[in-house]
């Protein structure tokens, strides 16, 4: 006699829900400057935990707006503390943890004569096109404006001169996009859109790997600005998102970040 197994609608719903929960990837959004490091971290995490992670990288301010607009996200890694803290204050995410640090450097074309000591003079030079990312949309732009504020303490009227001349070439909602596989800062400089470009030192290293003739100039102490990176789980996040967050701040995750030039918090 053959037996037929009949599952009730309730049991079917339970089994289907478990399958969907197991198969649905963790939705992870992170700052563009984290793309290389976080791709490595996520690949390592997925291999060890057999959990899929769906990643998207973009300017932190734009990602914050998408989350505020209702996009389904589990975990958010920002290039500053401001955007994740705003989500937390609005009740949209859990507590914010600083997980990495970065700082700004200058990328310069090979023909530009510049050193850390002459960087401010060259940025103020009328013949030098100064590139930055877009403030508010991308923390790298906000940090560039902090550099301009520090310049004001060195030379009167420097803030106005620099903020007026700065070309906001990356990180904005309407910024031109680099071709797939191309570092956006290397692409900007290779296409001669700026003579000097202020970006994260980690970005500068990646850009120079792609366009070796570029110069990387360290900002002098009186202009230097550090960048603190914040991590938060979005309200309603899957439990696995917290496990990924723990992996990022673990010694193994921090070692991968250090490999790409990030400092520990």
DSSP result, 196-233? EEEEEHHHHHHHHHHSTT-EEEEPPTTT--EEEEEEEE
pTM higher than 0.85, yes or no? no
Looking at per-residue pLDDT, the higher value among 177 and 9 belongs to 177
Find all residues with CB under 8 Å of 124, minimum gap 6, and list them: 151, 155, 158, 161, 162
- What's the pLDDT score for residue 2? 46
The residue-averaged pLDDT of 50-68 equals 96
Q: Return d(Cα 203, Cα 19) in angstroms, integer.
A: 39
Find all residues with CB under 8 Å of 249, minimum gap 6, and list them: 97, 99, 231
The residue-averaged pLDDT of 171-192 equals 95
CATH topology of 9-100+228-259 equal to that of 103-226? Answer: yes
CATH code for residues 9-100+228-259: 3.40.190.10
Q: What is the pLDDT of residues 90-120, one digit of tens each?
A: 999 999 999 999 999 999 999 999 999 999 9
The residue-averaged pLDDT of 32-59 equals 95
Q: What is the pLDDT of residues 80-90, one digit of tens each?
A: 999 999 999 99
- What's the pLDDT score for residue 95? 96
The residue-averaged pLDDT of 184-203 equals 97
The residue-averaged pLDDT of 179-188 equals 94
- What's the pLDDT score for residue 18? 45
pLDDT of 3 above 50: no
Query: Tokens 């995410």 belong to which residue?
Result: 93
β-strand partners of 227: 102
pLDDT of 19 above 90: no
The residue-averaged pLDDT of 52-58 equals 96
> What's the topology of domain 103-226?
D-Maltodextrin-Binding Protein; domain 2 (3.40.190)
Per-residue confidence at 8, pLDDT binned at 50, 70, 90?
Answer: very low
DSSP β-ladder status, 196-200 and 130-133: parallel
Q: Return d(Cα 101, Cα 113) in angstroms, integer.
A: 29
In the predicted model, what is the mean pLDDT of the chain? 92
The residue-averaged pLDDT of 16-40 equals 81
pLDDT of 129 above 50: yes
- What's the pLDDT score for residue 23? 67
What's the burial of 48, exposed, middle or buried (CB within 10 Å: 0-12/13-18/19+)? exposed
Q: How large a percentage of the chain has pLDDT more than 70?
A: 91
Q: How large a percentage of the chain has pLDDT more than 90?
A: 88
Map out the domains of the chain as residue ranges. Answer: 9-100+228-259, 103-226
Per-residue confidence at 24, pLDDT binned at 50, 70, 90?
Answer: confident
- What's the pLDDT score for residue 20? 43
Q: Return d(Cα 138, Cα 173) in angstroms, integer.
A: 10
């Amino acid at each position: 006699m053959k037996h037929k197994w009949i599952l009730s609608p309730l049991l079917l719903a339970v089994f289907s829900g478990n399958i969907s929960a197991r198969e649905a990837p963790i939705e992870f959004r992170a700052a563009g400057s984290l793309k290389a490091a976080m791709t490595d971290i996520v690949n390592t995490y997925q291999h060890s935990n057999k959990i899929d992670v769906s990643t998207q990288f973009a300017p932190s301010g734009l990602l914050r707006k998408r989350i505020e607009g209702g996009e389904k996200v589990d975990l958010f890694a920002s290039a500053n503390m401001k955007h994740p803290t705003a989500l937390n204050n609005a009740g949209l995410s859990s507590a914010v943890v600083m997980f990495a640090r970065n700082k700004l450097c200058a990328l310069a074309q090979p023909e530009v004569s510049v050193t850390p000591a002459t960087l401010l003079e060259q940025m103020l030079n009328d013949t030098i096109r100064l590139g930055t990312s877009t403030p508010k949309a991308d923390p790298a732009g906000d940090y560039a404006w902090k550099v301009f504020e520090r310049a004001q303490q060195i030379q009167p009227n420097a803030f106005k001169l620099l903020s007026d001349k700065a070309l906001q070439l990356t990180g904005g909602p309407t910024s031109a996009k680099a071709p797939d596989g191309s570092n956006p800062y290397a692409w900007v400089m290779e296409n001669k859109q700026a003579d000097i470009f202020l970006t994260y030192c980690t970005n500068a290293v990646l850009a120079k790997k792609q366009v070796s003739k570029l110069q990387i100039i360290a900002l002098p102490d009186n202009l230097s600005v550090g960048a603190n990176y914040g991590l938060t789980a979005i309200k309603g996040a899957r439990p696995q998102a917290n496990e990924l967050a723990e992996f990022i701040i673990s010694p193994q995750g921090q070692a991968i970040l250090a490999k790409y030039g990030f400092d520990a918090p």
